[in-house]
Structure 1
Amino acid sequence: MTESGSMRAAVLSGRGQLTIDEHPLPRLRPDYVRIRVDVAGICGSDVSEFRHGPLLAPLESRHRITGHLGPLVLGHEFSGTVAAVGAEAAGVQIGWSVVSAASASCGHCSACRSGNGNRCPDYWAVGLQQDGGLAEYCDVPAGLCVPYDAAVLTADTAALAQPMAIAVHSMKQANISAGTRVAIVGIGGVGAFLLAAVNHLTDVAHILALDPAPDRRLVARTLGATETAGGDVDHEPDVDVVYEMSGTVAGLESAARLTRPGGTIVLTGLQNPDAVIGALLRDITLREITITGAKACVPADDMPDALAVLASRSDWSSVAPEVFALDRLRGLLDGSDQPDAAGIKLLFDPRARASRPATHGL
């Protein structure tokens, strides 16, 4: 493939407007690397951009950091192989197996200097403010490439690293020690990974997983939940740390109901800004419950742990059982197509012409 060539890519041009077509390869920037994408995943933000956007994607006005304007290649969760290295890109070599950390920051502000680049006012992401990885190739800043050992993880499993890092970062927002009782409200993509991270990286006493969907509760059991229940669980408020992942008022109500006086709620799911939660906040205040937020991840801190959690299991098929051809993306986003196997994460091979079972064990 030449600098003037093209590639197959999933391009979003407006609400509900997505095409799988030939897309021009950009000129490789000096401080960037070109990744030959092996496998890419989608998450709730991709679905939201397609169904309700543009929300974050700069389709109509130029992004002040990346300079992107117009149709955008989606995808910020992907694994691949370094195919080319810009003249000023350091620390990356052609042929490396890498995952993209996706999140970029300025590196100079007080948040970045303190190691919290996810709080940077100039924070942006590949696949949301710049062309992403639902394509045969993706160009990213060299600093966003995190190598992984292809002798330990398959490309299918490695494609789960970015959302796993989000889960690891969320986990770290509360003080968890031996004997802590934990609840996770919402076993979607990040919620499932959070459960796996808590189970592998900590020594908690009990993990309660809440989700109204029976198949997701079953996944929670396979990932190490001690107890599972639907969202209407009648439970004593005896949980030390509750992670609210659903972004719903019902989920927050469940979190408040479960948290012991003096406990902690970590909010990762984004609430609807129009929702009325005043009475709920009053109850949280009177019981001195601490609320903290969790945003994205800090790649240097969270990616190594994410890769370790992924390597701790030989089979992630309950989470991501299938790898789809890119041609099925639109149907899976708008609901006109359905996966052949039950799972939580949707993975895509940008070169495949037919879907295949995911390969997780080596």
Structure 2
Amino acid sequence: MDTMKAAVLAEPGRFEVKDVPLPQVGPGDALIKVERCGICGTDIHIFNGHYAADKLPLVPGHEFAGTVATVGSDVSHLSVGAKVIADINIGCGHCYYCRRNEILNCAEMQQVGITRDGAFAEYVSVPARLVIPAPESAGFELLALVEPVACVVRAARKAGVSFGQSVVILGAGPIGNLHIQMMRLVGAAPIIVVELSEERAAMARAAGADVVITDPAAVGATVREWTGGRGADVVIESVGLPALYKQAFELIRPGGHVAAFGLTGPDDTVAVNILDTILRENSIKGSVAGMGEDMHDALTLLSHGRFKVDAFTSAAYPLASIQDAFDSLAARPGDLKTQIVI
């Protein structure tokens, strides 16, 4: 077999499902037969032409699970047919940043489905060192959630949230919902969510939010009410709008922390009062992708039922209908995740 079916994003907004060459498998690589691949917010940005547009045409898709189809000549730790997931962040493996598990800062960094062809295809090739064996009892629909859960695992680590700290989450879309569940796991309290969609607000409550604010005019007063008048210890921006980042700085307490997660446009900026930041000892940390041990921890948490996933696994489209899947996303707010069945 020399070719496979793949969904190629030919230009913003237009997929072509067609036969493409089978990925090359080097001595240290593994070829994964893809079973499921979720649609990520990053995929939507790529689809809309707002991110990685210079990489098109591209096969997107990085939230995937499958089985090992074949391995390179130097690979001995993986078995053909084994159920697996993979870390999508490919660094050189030996630089300062790779040693510190800060792979996104590696000068040679690539990402499966973002800067190189990904998993909206029958097969995907990745370095075997990044392939993670999964429990045979876990379904592919669950395993395809490991990568997004790894992202919130890392965000929680970067934010340094500890027991009893107040957290505001701006946006309760797919990743916002996972942030809510992650904050419950690390002991944050109260968890305050700002979400304008009534449907997703209800889902945020079901996910474990202590209070959900749907009225934009009530955000500041409600946050102060629930935090003893101080403001939140941590605010997580999970949408990617400059206006919400500005609001995030307004909602933290003196000494508070903004967790920057939502992707904005490449030229978007937010004015920060430097003196105020210094005197209040405020801080901001960015985080966007889970990698390394984040992936293993996410797999463990999902395998042991620590996340409510029904709203993330109910919507599935075949590869041939990927255009319909993307085109209909905005009309399906109740589907927190859509997965492509390969």
* TM-score, normalised via structure 2 length: 0.89
Question: How far apart in 1 are the matches of 2:307 and 2:241?
Answer: 33
User: Over aligned residue pairs, what C-alpha RMSD do you find?
Assistant: 2.3
Change (3 A) 1:115 1:184: same
Name the SS of the counterpart of 2:311 in structure 1: coil
* 1:35 corresponding residue in structure 2: 32
- Residue 89 of structure 2 corresponds to 103
Where does 1:258-269 land on structure 2 (aligned, <5 Å)?
Answer: 258-269=251-262
Are the aligned partners of 1:97 and 1:150 in contact in 2 as well (CA < 8 Å)? Answer: yes
Give matches, 1:246-257, under 5 Å.
246-257=239-250
Query: CA 1:54–1:238 in structure 2 vs 1: closer, same or farther (change >3 Å)?
Result: closer
Measured in 2, the distance between the counterparts of 1:207 and 1:108 equals 39
Is it true that 1:216 corresponds to 2:189 in the alignment? no
Distance of 2:330 and 2:271 partners within structure 1: 39
* Separation in structure 2 between the aligned mates of residue 279 and residue 101 of structure 1, nearest angstrom: 34
Query: Hey, what's the Cα distance between the residues in 2 that align with 1:313 and 1:279?
Result: 37
Task: Give the alignment partner of residue 79 of structure 1, picking from 65, 72, 78.
Answer: 65
Match of 1:305 in 2: 297
Q: Deviations over 1:144-166 (max 9, x none)?
A: 21111131x21101101111111
Paired residue type of 2:312? V
Instruction: Specify the alignment match of 1:229 in structure 2.
Output: 213
Q: Would you say 1:205 and 2:189 are equivalent positions?
A: yes
Tell me if the contact between 2:207 and 2:308 (Cα under 8 Å) persists in the aligned partners.
no
Among 30, 34, 50, the residue aligned to 2:47: 50
Q: For 1:24 and 1:280, locate their aligned partners in 2 and report how far apart those are by CA, in whole Å.
A: 52
**Which 10-residue stretch deviates more, 172-181 or 153-162?**
172-181
Shift of 1:267: 0.4
Number of paired residues? 332
220 and 123 in structure 1: CA distance in 2 versus 1, 3 angstrom threshold: same
| TM-score (norm. length: structure 1) | 0.84
Deviation of 1:224 (Å): 1.5
CA distance in structure 2 between the aligned counterparts of 1:57 and 1:97, rounded to whole angstroms: 33
Aligned to 2:167: 182
Match of 1:342 among 309, 331, 334: 334
Q: 1:123 to 1:289 in 2, by over 3 A?
A: same
Matched AA of 1:304: H
Q: Which of 80, 88, 96 is the aligned partner of 1:94?
A: 80
Change (3 A) 1:54 1:167: closer
Residue by residue over 1:114-162, the C-alpha shift from the partner in whole angstroms, topping out at 9 and shown as x without a partner, is 23223212211111222211111111111221111131x2110110111
Kept after mapping to 1: 8 A contact 2:205/2:212: yes
Equivalent residue, structure 1, for 2:106: 120
Provide the C-alpha distance between the structure 1 equivalents of 2:255 and 2:131, rounded to a whole number of angstroms: 40
Letter of the structure 2 residue corresponding to residue 33 of structure 1: A
- How far 1:250 sits from its partner (Å)? 2.5
Unmatched runs of 5 consecutive residues or more in structure 2: 225-229
